[in-house]
Amino acid sequence: MSSTNEVITSGSYIKHHLQNLTYGQFPDGYWGFAHTSEQAKEMGFLAVHLDTLGVSFVLGILFLSFFYRIGKKMTYDAPSGTQNFIESVVSYVNENVRGSFNGQNPMVAPLALTTFIWIVLMNTMDLVPVDWLPYIAQKIGVWFGADLHHVFFKVVPTTDPNATLGMSIGIFILIIYYSIKEKGISGFAVELTFHPFGKMMLPFNLFLEGVNLIAKPISLALRLFGNMYAGEMIFILIALLPFWIQWSLSLPWAIFHILIVLLQAFIFMTLVIVYMDMAHQKEH
């Protein structure tokens, strides 16, 4: 993960794997890639994590393309194994929507399916050996004339809070939109100000309901980020061990981590359905 003249310590190895490939504006006005974590911090809010965006967009395109391709080839006479698998996933998501969503909105099931599959794919990147994709990124960096030490690449998009917060904010916007659409502006305002303790406690009601509303996207984002970040950290720590110990530990952890990958995607999807159901409820 560095030039041949540099000795890699455990701390520098871990920091390198936890650093995003960041592009932004330096304090002197120059735009470029951050070569250190300090430079990434100096770039501020407008810095872009190219690895997070690149991996998540590629996985999203693959997911949509694959489902579109299978959908165009669907047949009722002799369905393929892939079609049966896709139908079982769609049926599973629909069952969860029917069980948790009581409103009438044809957008909720596709939203739940998209969030579930996309998050599963992003989480699954955690099962790729931690050095493989960063090594490829380094070779590409060398090809473009970059220093080996300055090539960062964080493989798992969901270990970047910017990605999980981005998805959660999108869900939050939908919650607000459908809350106002279904209840009206006055109904939504009443829900925030008159509950749970009535008109006389309006400031206290507004505080409680406001915190409850804002906590929804934050909890969505931090739960997914925290669990996936912890899992990635364990993989990185295992990679620091001698080669023969790595394989004896990484395989059991990877098998166990498959459960975490699926569980976190399921929890995110379920909460999205529940929050959308709450947004469609006429009464608090």
Q: What is the pLDDT of residues 77-108, one digit of tens each?
A: 888 889 999 999 999 999 999 999 998 999 99
Q: What is the pLDDT of residue 4?
A: 42
Q: What is the pLDDT of residue 156?
A: 95
Taking residues 59-67, what's their average pLDDT?
95
- Under a CB-based contact definition with an 8 Å cutoff, are residues 176 and 278 in contact? no
List, in order, residues 6 or more apart from 4 with CB less than 8 Å away: none
pLDDT at 21 over 50: yes
Peptide bond into 161 cis (omega under 30): no
Determine the Cα–Cα distance for residues 97 and 85; give it in Å rounded to an integer. 19
pLDDT at 149 over 70: no
CA angle (137, 143, 146) in 5-degree steps: 75
List, in order, residues 6 or more apart from 112 with CB less than 8 Å away: 93, 96, 97, 269, 272, 273
Determine the Cα–Cα distance for residues 174 and 276; give it in Å rounded to an integer. 8
Q: Which two tokens stand for residue 172?
A: 């939050």
> Please, which pLDDT band fits residue 136 given cuts at 50, 70 and 90?
confident
Q: What is the pLDDT of residue 143?
A: 63
Determine the Cα–Cα distance for residues 12 and 53; give it in Å rounded to an integer. 24
User: Which of the pair, 242 or 217, is modelled with greater confidence?
Assistant: 217
Determine the Cα–Cα distance for residues 196 and 208; give it in Å rounded to an integer. 9
Q: What is this structure's pTM?
A: 0.89
* Tokens 């004896």 found at: 248
User: Which of the pair, 135 or 249, is modelled with greater confidence?
Assistant: 249
Taking residues 18-39, what's their average pLDDT?
89
pLDDT at 1 over 50: no
> Please, which pLDDT band fits residue 134 given cuts at 50, 70 and 90?
confident
- Under a CB-based contact definition with an 8 Å cutoff, are residues 143 and 129 in contact? no
pLDDT at 284 over 50: no
By CB atoms closer than 10 A (0-12, 13-18, 19+), residue 232 is buried
pLDDT at 277 over 60: yes
Active-site residue list: 219, 223, 227
